Amino acid sequence: MRVGPHPGHLFPKPKVISLLQQGEDPWKVEKESPGGSSLEESRIFKYSFSKLSVLKELQQIHSD
């Protein structure tokens, strides 16, 4: 199992899990970097979470 940044993710998987456990929405968190966040990175990150949400919903529908 690979844990860490993946293409399109703004921060490592453990931080995403931590934010979810705290009840926060990680797709609303901006990347903090010296040069600021890239708008393209932000779009990719938001897309990956919305895609994941859709996949989870489809799995739930088909498992019922």
Q: How far is CA 29 from CA 9, 37, 45, 52, in A?
A: 12, 11, 10, 17
The predicted model gives 8-14 an average pLDDT of 63
Determine the Cα–Cα distance for residues 28 and 64; give it in Å rounded to an integer. 30
Query: In this predicted structure, what is the pLDDT of residue 38?
Result: 66
Nearest to 49 by CA among 21, 17, 22: 17
Question: Is residue 16 over pLDDT 50?
Answer: yes
H/E element, 10 = none
Task: State the pLDDT at residue 2.
Answer: 47
pTM over 0.85: no
Q: How far apart are CA 22 and CA 44, in angstroms?
A: 23
